[in-house]
Amino acid sequence: MYIQENLTTTPHEVPGCSWELPDALAEKFYRFGAFAKLVLNDDRSAIADIVEDTERREQYEATRARKAQERAEREAERERAWQQAALEKQGVAVMARSMFRSTAAAMPADDVIRCRALAEEWAPGAFAVGDVRTEDGVPYRCCQEHDSTGNSNWNPSQVPALWAPYHGTTPETALSWIAPTGAHDLYKAGECMVWTDGIVMRAKRDTNFSPEESPS
């Protein structure tokens, strides 16, 4: 095997550019690898020794350390940017929830339904008329002022006298049918609901009846 000064190996000699690798120096050549440095004899006709090119190794190590530092700095910057974005997103979400909760009582039903993810989930407490809470993804409005602090079973779906579900007026805001219990939660003309078969239906007039009970 022949070696050129750039450490390229060839099976054949390239006169004046490559030298045969002595068996006695093969171990050094492979040990130093890319940092091997040929030491030629005085007339440059043969390889006298193979040593480690320490200057080249130091340059390599310095470059690798610099790149590692740059990579760490980029990763740290990405992490800072991610945290900043998360904080901003959290801040926007907090602001959106706050704005929704302060205006929900006056919002049209369709808007409440579209924004229901911003509403508070129901939990026992004191409620005023118009307060909005969700239960299992369904938004309800408080119809009577009350305090359920000591009554954990006064949730909207169980106490319809205190809460009424919102009814959408478009197919996009239609929610699953919930049987009305009185005038406060009936389906008004033009309001929509999703019947048990998945079909969206619209009330032709104010009604407490289901499509099965009053199909016309």
Q: What is the pLDDT of residue 8?
A: 84
Evaluate if residue 16 carries a pLDDT over 80: no
DSSP string, 51-69: EE-HHHHHHHHHHHHHHHH
pLDDT digits (tens, 9 = 90+) for 93-121: 888 888 998 899 999 999 999 999 999 99
Q: What is the pLDDT of residue 216?
A: 64
SS3 content of the chain, % helix, strand, coil (to 5): 35, 20, 45
Task: Give the bridge partners for 37, in sequence order.
Answer: 51
Strand order in the sheet with 9-10: 9-10, 2-4, 18-20
Q: Domain tally for the chain?
A: 3
Q: What is the mean pLDDT of the chain?
A: 92
Residue span of the structural domain in which 183 resides: 107-202
Instruction: Indicate the burial class of 200 (C-beta count within 10 angstroms; 0-12, 13-18, 19 or more).
Output: middle
Q: What is the pLDDT of residue 97?
A: 87
pTM above 0.75, yes or no: no
Task: Note whether 113 and 175 are same-domain residues.
Answer: yes
Task: Note whether 131 and 174 are same-domain residues.
Answer: yes
